[in-house]
Amino acid sequence: MSVRVRFAPSPTGPLHMGGVRTALYNYLFAKKHHGVFLLRIEDTDQNRFVPGAGEYIMESLKWCGINHDEGPDTGGPYSPYLQSERKALYKDYALQLIGDGHAYYAFDTPAELEAMRKRLETEKSGNPQYDCQTRMHMNNSLTLPPDEVKRRIDAGEAHVIRIKIPEGQEVVVNDLIRDQVRVDSRLLDDKVLFKSDGMPTYHLANVVDDYLMKITHVIRGEEWLPSAPLHVLLYRYLGWKESMPEFAHLPLLLKPDGHGKLSKRDGDRLGFPVFPLEWKDPSSGEISPGYRESGYFPEAFVNMLALLGWNPGTEQEIFTMKELTEAFSLERVGKSGARFDPDKAKWFNHQYLQQKDPEDIAALFIEQLKKHGHQASGKKLARIISLVRDRVNFVDEIWDQAAFFFEPPESYDEKFAKKKWKAGTPDILLQLVEMLRDIEPFDTGHIEKALHAFMEEKEIGAGQIMPGLRLALVGAGRGPDVKEIMSVLGKDEVKRRIQRVVDRLGKNGRSS
Ligand code: GLU
């Protein structure tokens, strides 16, 4: 039997990073087993539908490289993949359940349901829910005479269809991550399967579609574990026990500090995105940041997510999508929640920034450079990027580290100058300027040799020349190797900068 898995988000808002991880694990599992990964949009809850959310989900997955084989945009043998377009097919299954005595019509109005809840709360008789204890006191096809039920339906009275949860049974969910989860059926409520608006609820549509789409493994977030016993019963009652998929409920993503599920509020509070892409709430206009817009590489984001809940069993942390596909297994997904660490997310981006072809980074950096009014060839930029990238996590941090390659220092770090600029420094630097003339070609190797020769001839140590030279070129005591900086700047610019620092700092090292 070939593996078929699905990611089945509801378009009720932007996709949380936990949702992206669910999609990723499904994708990796499918690819590992040479199976199919499909995307199904579960949009049957019209009250919670948010315009643009479906498109957002698809764009997010695309950005991450989590590509589906079947879906609303790509089509496939089990089309349509948008549940609202499948509306017509669910009702028959609900009616089948009624016919077999596993479901019933319920006519209770919202006020009646509320009254039931209030009554049970004051009686303190367990869960105030519609279940085997309460159903016989309500208005439904189990309590009303058949002709009355028919009359009400024919008259178009609002009604729903509820599952009839069996009494006193133990429902067993076999979970690949949690082993066996056993639930006493008395704790389950008679969930609505079909609503008065003619739409199925999540539970019915989800199970019917998983069956019709031949899903072999349901891999989803832990928040769906409480619904799994109901789904197991639905498979049984619909006569699909043999084709029931295997379940794997993934651990929650936890807050970086403290306990509980990672939420958007944690992101706002601690300053990191929880969504893959920027999201503008269509009703409030509020903008939530995205990983993409914050400068993360999709590979880094995906790599980070892969390790939040799954571990490869080795020390390896950097994985390409292909490597993840080969290494992934549900056996190595943990049971306990995975704490999200925003610094680790940055660390992953840093790693990818070091690994990437500098020319590719140059193509991204060039936009920033233009904003600062400069231009440079891709080759030159690639060289500069190679020199400074170990100091940054994001492309937009490069300018701060590389600005001196494009603009001579406006000022000189006073603290550094005070410590390192000596009365003899101007003289030494000016003598160096003389010597620069002979360095040909002006590349790192020749510069290094010449500097050595110069120090030997003048009988001075590196400490007497290098700090001053660095101050001249960078304006501070930081930056990459001085020889590299010199060769990028070129002979004339190095001379100009030395003259400039000497003019400004003179013998006492204080800017004039
Ligand atoms: N539509 C559900 C959601 O929003 C799908 C849950 C499942 O995968 O069964 O997450």
**Could you tell me the pLDDT band of residue 120, with boundaries at 50, 70 and 90?**
confident
Mutate to test the pocket of ligand 1, among 224, 244, 247, 249 (most ligand atoms within 8 A of CB): 224
pLDDT at 461 over 90: yes
Residue 119's pLDDT is what?
86
Domain assignment present for residue 182? The answer is yes
**Domain CATH for 427:** 1.10.10.350
Which entry of 32, 264, 356, 458 is annotated as an active-site residue? Answer: 264
42 lines ligand 1 (CB under 6 A): yes
Query: In angstroms, what is the span from residue 221 Cα to ligand 1's centroid?
Result: 8
Residue 125's pLDDT is what?
66
Query: In angstroms, what is the span from residue 205 Cα to ligand 1's centroid?
Result: 10
Asked which of 202, 217, 245 is the last residue of a domain, the reply is 202
Asked which of 157, 179, 202 is the last residue of a domain, the reply is 202
For the CA of 42, the nearest atom of ligand 1 = 1
Domain assignment present for residue 180? The answer is yes
> Which DSSP string do the residues of 167-212 spell out, in sequence order?
SS-EEEEEETTTEEEEEEGGGS---EEE-TTS-B-HHHHHHHHHHH
Query: In angstroms, what is the span from residue 508 Cα to ligand 1's centroid?
Result: 71
**Domain CATH for 192:** 3.90.800.10
Domain assignment present for residue 127? The answer is yes
210 lines ligand 1 (CB under 6 A): no
Claim to verify: residue 102 and residue 143 sit in the same structural domain: yes
Spatial CA neighbour of 246 closest among 330, 332, 305: 330
Domain assignment present for residue 498? The answer is yes
Query: In angstroms, what is the span from residue 72 Cα to ligand 1's centroid?
Result: 16
Domain of residue 140: give its range: 87-202
Residue nearest to atom 6 of ligand 1 (CA): 8
Query: In angstroms, what is the span from residue 74 Cα to ligand 1's centroid?
Result: 20
Mutate to test the pocket of ligand 1, among 202, 208, 216, 222 (most ligand atoms within 8 A of CB): 202
Q: Are 107 and 159 in contact (CB under 8 A)?
A: yes
Q: State how far the alpha carbon of 384 is from the alpha carbons of 20, 335, 366, 413, 469, in Å.
A: 35, 45, 12, 22, 19
pLDDT at 61 over 90: yes
Residue 121's pLDDT is what?
84
Claim to verify: residue 429 and residue 362 sit in the same structural domain: no
For the CA of 10, the nearest atom of ligand 1 = 4
Claim to verify: residue 370 and residue 470 sit in the same structural domain: no
Domain assignment present for residue 23? The answer is no
Q: What is the mean pLDDT of residues 155-166?
A: 98
- Tell me what percent of the residues of the chain surpass a pLDDT of 70: 99
154-172 as b/e: b if 16+ CB within 10 A: eeeeebbbbbbbeeeeebe
Claim to verify: residue 399 and residue 422 sit in the same structural domain: no
Claim to verify: residue 101 and residue 191 sit in the same structural domain: yes
Residue 512's pLDDT is what?
63
43 lines ligand 1 (CB under 6 A): no
Mutate to test the pocket of ligand 1, among 206, 209, 250 (most ligand atoms within 8 A of CB): 206
Residue 509's pLDDT is what?
75
Alpha carbon 91 to chain centroid, angstroms? 36
Claim to verify: residue 478 and residue 395 sit in the same structural domain: no
Residue 356 bears catalytic tag:
no
Asked which of 185, 202, 219 is the last residue of a domain, the reply is 202
pLDDT digits (tens, 9 = 90+) for 389-424: 999 999 999 999 999 999 999 999 999 999 999 999
Claim to verify: residue 374 and residue 476 sit in the same structural domain: no
Residue nearest to atom 2 of ligand 1 (CA): 9
For the CA of 219, the nearest atom of ligand 1 = 8
Domain assignment present for residue 431? The answer is yes
Claim to verify: residue 385 and residue 482 sit in the same structural domain: no
Claim to verify: residue 176 and residue 138 sit in the same structural domain: yes
Residue 124's pLDDT is what?
67
Claim to verify: residue 442 and residue 376 sit in the same structural domain: no
Residue count of the chain: 512
pLDDT digits (tens, 9 = 90+) for 24-59: 999 999 999 999 999 999 999 988 999 999 999 999
pLDDT at 460 over 80: yes
Domain assignment present for residue 142? The answer is yes
Domain count of the fold of the chain: 3
Claim to verify: residue 477 and residue 420 sit in the same structural domain: yes
22 lines ligand 1 (CB under 6 A): no
Query: In angstroms, what is the span from residue 9 Cα to ligand 1's centroid?
Result: 5
- Tell me what percent of the residues of the chain surpass a pLDDT of 90: 95
Q: CA torsion angle for 281, 286, 288, 293 (degrees, to 10)?
A: 90
Q: What is the mean pLDDT of residues 139-164?
A: 98
pLDDT at 477 over 70: yes
Nearest 5°: the CA angle 26, 30, 34 is 175
pLDDT digits (tens, 9 = 90+) for 282-296: 999 999 999 999 999
Query: In angstroms, what is the span from residue 366 Cα to ligand 1's centroid?
Result: 42
Residue 258's pLDDT is what?
75
Q: Are 58 and 67 in contact (CB under 8 A)?
A: no
**Could you tell me the pLDDT band of residue 425, with boundaries at 50, 70 and 90?**
very high
Q: What is the mean pLDDT of residues 240-255?
A: 97
Mutate to test the pocket of ligand 1, among 42, 227, 231 (most ligand atoms within 8 A of CB): 42
pLDDT at 269 over 80: yes
Spatial CA neighbour of 259 closest among 344, 334, 336: 336
Q: Are 234 and 204 in contact (CB under 8 A)?
A: yes
Q: Are 159 and 153 in contact (CB under 8 A)?
A: yes
Claim to verify: residue 399 and residue 471 sit in the same structural domain: no
Domain assignment present for residue 31? The answer is no
Query: In angstroms, what is the span from residue 501 Cα to ligand 1's centroid?
Result: 64
**Domain CATH for 371:** 1.10.8
